[in-house]
A and B are shown apart, each in its own frame.
Chain A
């Protein structure tokens, strides 16, 4: 409960202002290093420092305010919540000015004007001249971006959300999607550099601006003034030119002051709940399919380990160690993106296979413990009756081992149900991902979070009951 109160209270956000920044001597700015070059990223020369055109803008603003700039890392989709929570004073990281955002934060004048570039495979270029030509196709973009709004608004286009700037173009190359809409800066660096991808059209434009908390009116004004100064002195142009970002579009950007709007957060609507239920459905389907894979795969592994040839046993042991000893997130990345040139699985299949292969390693260990727990005398009794070894295993040892392993397997199923949230990294929108998408739209995380938690509980509680009933039914002696 205390945690929730802290979440609601949201730190000392309202107390800040330009005075607080000056007193502290530090301007804290939020961004996400995963956005990569040229925004803000780790210095490739490897001294641990940060570089990027936004780093230079932040430094210039801080200088103008007479303070020092300090970077605060956050997931890009979480930048606004981080600002609201008081993790930083401003957000300066390719944050597009949209009506929804303008209702939540105060924006400075823009510091960059961009266009939204639709990139397609060269082969498709002759017939694709805009999103209208991709009706019924899958188009990738970044979650929570202006580009996502544009793709979502395009009739008949199915949107696929990524979290990094490189992955949408990998998916495009692999044919998992048929178009990518992202800011021209990103397209030029991560998409059009690939052979076989070309620009099909510009499907919109927008501006990046600096966000502050609406309550920090003095800071908002100070930042806007500082940016105006940086711009009029030509510093902004110098920075953008150094990063090869200056183009004709920039000349008219940022001449006028900031657009301030009154925050009117929208509420959770029935439409959101329906999307949540859809997400929960995806979660269930992925859980069931990957668990089926894990349970059968684990059985094969444990049998190979115990009864297989030497080679099979070594291979099975190696498999278990590999998949237990590395993060499932890494395995999902490798399976979906790393192996893409050879095995191009679609996201859903990759999610099921990835989780299934990972959990198979754990199930194999549960079966092994179960097999170990069946007394050797049971095998001997079966063999003494003339049963072939395989029959003895299948009919006598395994049924007992499975009963012993069952509580653990049921437990793993519940864990798997929650681990499905990881597959959002390979663009599958399941329950948790749906929650983060909605939470960005709404003003807070608490209501969507509670709704999401409720749905998880609605799935896991009946499951654990079912598991207990199954256990009782399978037990040799009814309790």
Chain B
């Protein structure tokens, strides 16, 4: 069963193409790792799915809605919100709300968007914090947390909306190497729990262990697609080989 469908997606920035016709079908429970050199369009693909970045051509079907080019924040607010409610996103730079305590970061959207009561929202938030191992930091402000802890809170914040699909945009790129592990293990736990997700990442080992499918982007197109074993052990495209060669040197 298809949870997310991307068809003929085209995107451009300043007249230059960023995505040049991307097709992608993601079934329920799939964990798709998106690999690619920088500038290959990975982040743009991810941000097109919840329309944070508008696209120029093609369409996205997600959460019973169809996103098309030319939609506008004001006019199409209801449709965009319907999609975003059910598509969680984790940013490279966390983007926790600095003026709210950790627990409030988790309760804000459920309360304002889903209309949950204070107690209900808080109980759910505490369960999620427990799941990412941070229940004892609930009343801290985000700045008091390490980068890895902040990213775990950000994941819990997205989960608080019980999304059908989770989008991870290089969730460990901004982290000190020693903190990468704790975040990836949370993501891996989610995957094991059957959460549908797209993960843009440079962590080949993580992709190999956790992903059910690997997609390699190059120059705004899908260069290669398959199981981790197929793509990572027997790369067919030059783009993948270059990527793996680069990664192994690091």
Cβ distance A410 to chain B, nearest Cβ, rounded Å: 18
The interface stretch among A19-27, A77-85, A323-331, A384-392 is A384-392
Q: Which residues of A contact B99 (CB under 8 A)?
A: 399-400, 403, 476
Q: Which residues of B contact A400 (CB under 8 A)?
A: 97-99
B113 at the interface (CB under 8 A from A): yes
- Tally of A-B Cβ pairs under 8 angstroms: 73
Contact A386 B98 (CB under 8 A): no
Q: Which residues of A contact B109 (CB under 8 A)?
A: 382, 385-387
Q: Whole-angstrom distance between the alpha carbons of A391 and B113 in the complex?
A: 9
A396 at the interface (CB under 8 A from B): yes
Question: B residues 55-113 with Cβ under 8 Å of A?
Answer: 73-74, 77, 80-82, 84-89, 91, 93, 95-99, 108-109, 112-113
Contact B84 A386 (CB under 8 A): yes
Name which residue of chain A comes closest to B84, CB basis: A386
Q: Which residues of B contact A226 (CB under 8 A)?
A: none
B161 at the interface (CB under 8 A from A): yes
Cβ distance A316 to chain B, nearest Cβ, rounded Å: 18
Name which residue of chain A comes closest to B114, CB basis: A386
Q: Whole-angstrom distance between the alpha carbons of A399 and B144 in the complex?
A: 19
Q: Which residues of A contact B93 (CB under 8 A)?
A: 377
On whether A389 and B73 interact (CB within 8 A), knowing A380-B52, A384-B52, A476-B141, the answer reads: yes
For this complex, into which size category does the number of interface residues on chain B fall? Answer: 20 to 34
Q: Which residues of A contact B86 (CB under 8 A)?
A: 386
Q: Which residues of B contact A396 (CB under 8 A)?
A: 97, 108
Question: A residues 373-430 with Cβ under 8 Å of B?
Answer: 375, 377-378, 380-389, 391, 395-396, 399-400, 403
Cβ distance A133 to chain B, nearest Cβ, rounded Å: 62
Q: Which residues of B contact A476 (CB under 8 A)?
A: 98-99, 141-143
B150 at the interface (CB under 8 A from A): no
Contact B112 A395 (CB under 8 A): yes
Contact B85 A386 (CB under 8 A): yes
Q: Which residues of A contact B161 (CB under 8 A)?
A: 385-386
Question: A residues 355-380 with Cβ under 8 Å of B?
Answer: 375, 377-378, 380
Q: Whole-angstrom distance between the alpha carbons of A387 and B97 in the complex?
A: 13
A477 at the interface (CB under 8 A from B): yes
Q: Whole-angstrom distance between the alpha carbons of A385 and B84 in the complex?
A: 6
Which of B52, B98, B142 has the most chain A CB within a 10 Å cutoff? B98
B172 at the interface (CB under 8 A from A): no
Contact B74 A389 (CB under 8 A): yes
Cβ distance A254 to chain B, nearest Cβ, rounded Å: 76
Instruction: Choose from B113, B141, B144 the contact partner of A385 (Cβ within 8 Å).
Output: B113
Contact B143 A377 (CB under 8 A): no
Q: Which residues of A contact B52 (CB under 8 A)?
A: 380, 383-384
Instruction: Choose from B80, B85, B91, B113 the contact partner of A380 (Cβ within 8 Å).
Output: B91
Q: Which residues of B contact A383 (CB under 8 A)?
A: 52, 73, 80, 84
Cβ distance B96 to chain A, nearest Cβ, rounded Å: 8
Q: Which residues of B contact A386 (CB under 8 A)?
A: 81-82, 84-86, 109, 113, 161
Instruction: Choose from B88, B91, B112 the contact partner of A391 (Cβ within 8 Å).
Output: B112
Majority SS of interface residues in chain A? helix
Cβ distance A380 to chain B, nearest Cβ, rounded Å: 5
Which of B93, B109, B141 has the most chain A CB within a 10 Å cutoff? B109
Q: Whole-angstrom distance between the alpha carbons of A395 and B95 in the complex?
A: 14
Q: Which residues of B contact A395 (CB under 8 A)?
A: 108, 112
B22 at the interface (CB under 8 A from A): no
Q: Which residues of A contact B80 (CB under 8 A)?
A: 383
Name which residue of chain A comes closest to B98, CB basis: A476
Name which residue of chain A comes closest to B140, CB basis: A477
Contact B141 A477 (CB under 8 A): yes
Question: A residues 24-59 with Cβ under 8 Å of B?
Answer: none
B50 at the interface (CB under 8 A from A): yes
Contact B74 A387 (CB under 8 A): no
Q: Whole-angstrom distance between the alpha carbons of A375 and B96 in the complex?
A: 11
Q: Which residues of B contact A384 (CB under 8 A)?
A: 50, 52, 84, 87-89, 158
Contact A389 B158 (CB under 8 A): no
Contact B77 A389 (CB under 8 A): yes
Q: Whole-angstrom distance between the alpha carbons of A84 and B115 in the complex?
A: 74
Cβ distance A212 to chain B, nearest Cβ, rounded Å: 67
Q: Whole-angstrom distance between the alpha carbons of A477 and B157 in the complex?
A: 20
Q: Which residues of A contact B81 (CB under 8 A)?
A: 386-388
Q: Which residues of A contact B157 (CB under 8 A)?
A: 385
Q: Whole-angstrom distance between the alpha carbons of A380 and B158 in the complex?
A: 13
1/0 contact trace for B132-151 toward A, CB 8 Å?
00000000011110000000
Q: Whole-angstrom distance between the alpha carbons of A400 and B95 in the complex?
A: 13
Which of B86, B88, B113 has the most chain A CB within a 10 Å cutoff? B113
Q: Whole-angstrom distance between the alpha carbons of A378 and B109 in the complex?
A: 13
Which of B96, B97, B141, B161 has the most chain A CB within a 10 Å cutoff? B97
Q: Whole-angstrom distance between the alpha carbons of A476 and B157 in the complex?
A: 18
Question: A residues 84-138 with Cβ under 8 Å of B?
Answer: none
On whether A378 and B95 interact (CB within 8 A), knowing A386-B81, A386-B161, A477-B144, the answer reads: yes
Q: Which residues of A contact B98 (CB under 8 A)?
A: 400, 476
Contact A377 B95 (CB under 8 A): yes
On whether A380 and B95 interact (CB within 8 A), knowing A385-B161, A389-B77, A477-B141, the answer reads: yes
Q: Whole-angstrom distance between the alpha carbons of A377 and B98 in the complex?
A: 12
Q: Whole-angstrom distance between the alpha carbons of A395 and B110 in the complex?
A: 13
Q: Which residues of A contact B144 (CB under 8 A)?
A: 477
Q: Whole-angstrom distance between the alpha carbons of A476 and B52 in the complex?
A: 27
Name which residue of chain A comes closest to B112, CB basis: A391
What are the 5 closest A-B residue pairs judged by CB atoms, nearest first?
A386-B85, A385-B109, A381-B95, A384-B89, A386-B84
24 A–B pairs (Cβ distance < 8 Å), ordered by A: A377-B91, A377-B93, A377-B95, A378-B95, A381-B89, A381-B96, A381-B97, A382-B97, A383-B73, A384-B84, A384-B89, A385-B85, A385-B109, A385-B158, A386-B81, A386-B86, A386-B113, A386-B161, A387-B109, A389-B74, A391-B112, A476-B98, A476-B143, A477-B143
12 new A-B pairs (CB below 8 Å) besides A386-B113, A386-B161? Answer: A378-B95, A381-B89, A384-B50, A384-B88, A384-B89, A385-B113, A385-B161, A388-B77, A391-B113, A395-B108, A400-B98, A403-B99
